[in-house]
Amino acid sequence: MTADQTGPVVGTPHGAVRGRYEQGVAVFRGIPYGAPPFGPRRFRPPAPPEPWEGVRDAGAFGPTAPKPPYSEAFAHYLSDPEIPGDDCLNLNVWTPEPGPGARLPVLLWLHGGALTRGSSAMPVYDGGSFARDGVVCVSVNYRLGVEGYGLFPDAPANPGLRDQLAALRWVHESIAAFGGDPDRITLGGQSAGAISVGALLAAPQSQGLVRRAVLQSGAPEASDRDKVRRVVRRMAARLRIPATAEAFAAVDRDLLLSAQAEVGRFSSPVLGGPAFGIVVDGDLVPRDPLAALRSGEAAADVNLLMGWTRDEYRLWLVPGGLLERVDRLGPVALAGAMARCHAGHEVPRGYRLLRPDAGAAEIVGQMVTDHLLRLPLHRLADARPGTSHLYEFAWPSNLPGLGACHALELGFVFDTGDVPESRLLAGEGAPQELSDALHGAWVRFATTGDPGWEPWDATHPVRVFGTAPPHTTPGPRDADLSLWTTPHPTSPVRGAGNGASNPEQPAHAHGGKAP
């Protein structure tokens, strides 16, 4: 259909939808891929949506999954719109050419938020620039927090991850009608979204559905089941109910979110604590995803683009003044980081030798970042040379203290630096040429599998996107990561539980501050 006041109409397996043309791109918002996950469907795997007759309007974002708001300190930097309604298993499509003949590459985006916050409605995630550049972009809402990742004796594990799998299947079956190529799907995510990408890549049910994958600021991992159970048990104790899905399903949604927020105050990526995470369930996640991907038994033919930011930890520590408090704690903070990372004294000692002028917060932050992100991504790339590309985002925010922090790169990835929500992290005057470079690399990768620099090999090439023009540097993090090559005697095998606290869990947990 040509552009007119009625907008483009596309058929899906459950009914036709009518979108909008915006700046030459066809946009379809709020398309259901699953039935509302409430009532008898609460804490259960997703069910298909009920078919509809006629043409469903897809002009507005659909409801977001239930989630607590950010604390005031974090809301200063991060937006998280809330749209009420039960029909929260929905997705959005941006396409330059709706219709079955285009066969364009597809980017399926999974948002971050520690598996407790975030949504596809965040303005930073607008997919119009990808569609403008020839890539069909799809973004997804999925269940969060206890609704999506609570672990109960009477319900299947990982319902939020099962939502994401249902969305991936919907895209594979339906995206051709929107101009996409189901054989060229790139699955991408940031932070908890990247952790989800890793789990989906390793899932037996997704094999053959994904051509390429992007993991930004998150590595494949499995959380400790007992740790996730403790979150549920603490919520149950606060609510004075049994720790069962049946009991939780009878609780008012707002009351459940309040209990979740209270329990979540005591979690952070820096020092750990109770947190929701993806767990090995013997079905969708039959074993640790990182081990499955490194062994080559899963997604062996999927090309990988993996990245991190130079100062990930600054988003975890700057809001609320935690960075200064960690610096004041000094040796106590370093001891906590050693416990968090299962590291011996030689690790922080090595970081100190490499950074003689750094404060305790920088040492702690870089240790945790390497433990959670850079080391597992390096190891995954080592197991898949020639088909992996790595990069570092190193441009510092124009706001004081943030540096090149966690999530800062997203406005550059989506080329949405002009929206107010991007400026919450970047400040004013973010360089458009850097957006062109990083967004262009993602477009090239989704289109061809080559983002524009050499793939991983023994020289460890890393593309650096910072204040200087983008350039490739051999092994910029090798000196830090070599400190971890000799495991400490108490170190568990990665994936057996040391990654339960997601890199995006806000650090407002400390000091008793409410989220």
> Which amino acids are annotated catalytic?
191, 312, 406
Asked whether 453 and 437 are in contact (CB, 8 A), the reply is: no
Alpha carbon distance 444, 437 (integer Å) = 10
Amino acid identity, residue 76? H
The tokens of 118 are what?
Answer: 């975030």
Q: Which is nearest to 191 in space by CA: 506, 512, 509?
A: 506
The tokens of 403 are what?
Answer: 């540096």
Alpha carbon distance 515, 319 (integer Å) = 11
Nearest-5° Cα angle at 197, 405 to 22: 75
Alpha carbon distance 107, 135 (integer Å) = 7
Asked whether 251 and 262 are in contact (CB, 8 A), the reply is: no
**15 strand-pairing partners:** 12
Give exposure, 207-220, as e/b (b: 16+ Cβ within 10 Å).
eebbbbbbbbbbbb
Alpha carbon distance 287, 215 (integer Å) = 19
Alpha carbon distance 235, 184 (integer Å) = 42
HEC secondary structure over 7-41: CCEEEECCEEEECEEECCEEEEEEEECCCCCCHHH
Q: Which is nearest to 425 in space by CA: 80, 42, 21, 58?
A: 80
Written as one string, the DSSP assignment of 282-338 is SSSS-S-HHHHHHHTSSSTT-EEEEEEETTTHHHHHTGGGHHHHHHHHTHHHHHHHH
